[in-house]
Structure 1
């Protein structure tokens, strides 16, 4: 159970795909003009990632090693087609906004990376936890980045105006350069927070005493 929870939570911060392991940056930068696009793409990737991890883990012992990558792509491609059909049926406007990036989920580094590095080497329950954790981390990342860009670039959040009257949008934030600016700032903030956490942990560990008997302070660590 402890291993399951560990695999489930690692993708939410420690190994969050776009901001820690730098995977799947193409859709991260391209479709996050607003929070809705980020959430939609994230949910699509979550669906494909969870099911592909589970299926690959189930059949991992039957796939010849020489053709494993081709098999992984075939499995993910089948799931992506299902996602496309569902989006066309229920969220067609969103499907049009995401455009080519929906079918490109097939070759997303996250999908193939988790299939090769984890799902093909672990049992089903751990592959499921890995898929859910990584997928949720990816979804939250895209939604968060899209929300920042939409808020600063248009003054809206999920299409509703939320800023004060007279707010002047930074239109560059909803353009291509804005994606790189926001991503860089987020990476810098996360690195700063991680550095602070590491420093606090190091400060909490007491310094090791110098070798010696420790019974007096008359000598310097047992040395005359």
Structure 2
């Protein structure tokens, strides 16, 4: 017989026995009452949901000021908040608050570069975004998974899986070079130049960030605007 109680304990509350059904006989002649269900709050998933951190407008405003004052020292910045980690502060800035985030539709050229980068770097969104001027890690991930990945060949998917698993050898990395999977109609050199240009522009964007912080704060948090 299955030890439901033991299974629930070992799984941290993820498992619970099915609710027993009452027969007609029980209903008519006073059979046993329903067995009490395990509260949903005992499940691991529920605990994880309860632990999710959300950001308020006040916290966003505070984060903007701290970045303007301390730069990207996320460890120091996180200590200015209650219950926020350095990673959470970094992601909030890079995905939502950074004034240099580009919110315009993706171009065909950006898609080409994004595909190339994922084939070489795998799902390293934080690293990939550095080569796509103005795109956040969240935006890069969403664009690739929702638009580019469904169009990939089996070979390309397998190449990405090898990179993600960390099992690719140096030889595999060379064989998995994007040029083997993409037909750029003789424009490979041009795309390499474009990628180098994007890297240079990234440095320029970071220099402009502090200048844009003040105007961002004014626009986002004007009195009376929800």
TM over 0.5: no
Q: Scaled by the length of structure 1, what TM-score is found?
A: 0.24
TM-score, L = length of structure 2: 0.23
* Greater relative contact order (CA < 8 Å, ≥ 6 in sequence): 1
